[in-house]
């Protein structure tokens, strides 16, 4: 049994992406940092803020504000045109990142979106990295928790 645990630990440390382990590295980002979610001082504020971050699956986006604001998850078209998406959240909402999709959020109050209160979140890439991460091994997609469980089941049965 100790051999099984040792094999599992080696796999978990050597290939955490195979097990989809985010663990203690998940972060919560307060959108806009100290400004929070507000009409920004310039229209590039939130794009510059997002470009300085590396968002990954498992991270959280926290929208904090005071005053008259809301946040709505938007499509690319709604984001580009500042069109109310019809779904809005109140202050202090935390959005968990669960996929590598590009996420769009806008303020739905008055002309706040047109004034720059909108943000695009690109998941899984860092705008400030000069080189992309290496591709995963080609066998990675075939090693799911189910196949890993079967693998360890074979080890345990012997």
Span 67-71, mean pLDDT? Answer: 93
The pLDDT value recorded for residue 117 is 98
> With 50 as the cut, is the pLDDT of residue 28 above it?
yes
Q: What is the pTM of this model?
A: 0.65
- Eight-class DSSP state of 141: G
Average pLDDT, the chain: 76
Continuous segment of H or E residues that includes residue 121: strand 118-121
The pLDDT value recorded for residue 143 is 42
Domain boundaries, the chain: 28-122
> With 70 as the cut, is the pLDDT of residue 156 above it?
no
Beta-strand pair 103-106/118-121: antiparallel
CATH of 28-122, one of 2.60.40.1930, 3.10.20.440, 2.60.40.420, 2.130.10.30: 2.60.40.420
3-state secondary structure 46-75: HHHHHHCCEECCCCEEEECCCCCCCEEEEC
Span 86-108, mean pLDDT? Answer: 94
The pLDDT value recorded for residue 7 is 42
The pLDDT value recorded for residue 25 is 78
Span 88-101, mean pLDDT? Answer: 93
DSSP string covering 3-46, please? HHHHHHHHHHHH-GGGGT--GGG--EEETTTTS-SS--SSTTHH
Span 57-84, mean pLDDT? Answer: 96
The pLDDT value recorded for residue 22 is 43
Span 115-140, mean pLDDT? Answer: 62
The pLDDT value recorded for residue 107 is 96
């Amino acid at each position: 049994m100790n051999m099984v645990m040792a094999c599992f630990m080696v796999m978990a440390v050597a290939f955490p992406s195979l097990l989809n382990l985010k663990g203690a590295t998940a972060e919560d980002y307060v959108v806009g940092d100290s400004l929070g979610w507000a009409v920004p001082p310039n229209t590039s504020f939130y794009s510059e803020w997002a470009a300085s971050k590396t968002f990954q699956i498992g991270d959280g986006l926290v929208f904090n504000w005071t005053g008259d604001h809301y946040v709505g998850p938007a499509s690319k078209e709604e984001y580009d045109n500042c069109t109310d998406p019809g779904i809005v959240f109140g202050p202090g909402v935390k959005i968990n990142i669960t996929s590598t999709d590009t996420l769009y959020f806008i303020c739905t109050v008055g002309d706040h979106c047109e004034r720059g209160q909108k943000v695009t979140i690109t998941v899984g890439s860092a705008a400030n990295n000069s080189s992309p991460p290496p591709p995963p091994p080609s066998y990675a997609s075939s090693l799911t928790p189910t196949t890993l469980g079967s693998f360890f089941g074979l080890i345990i049965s012997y």
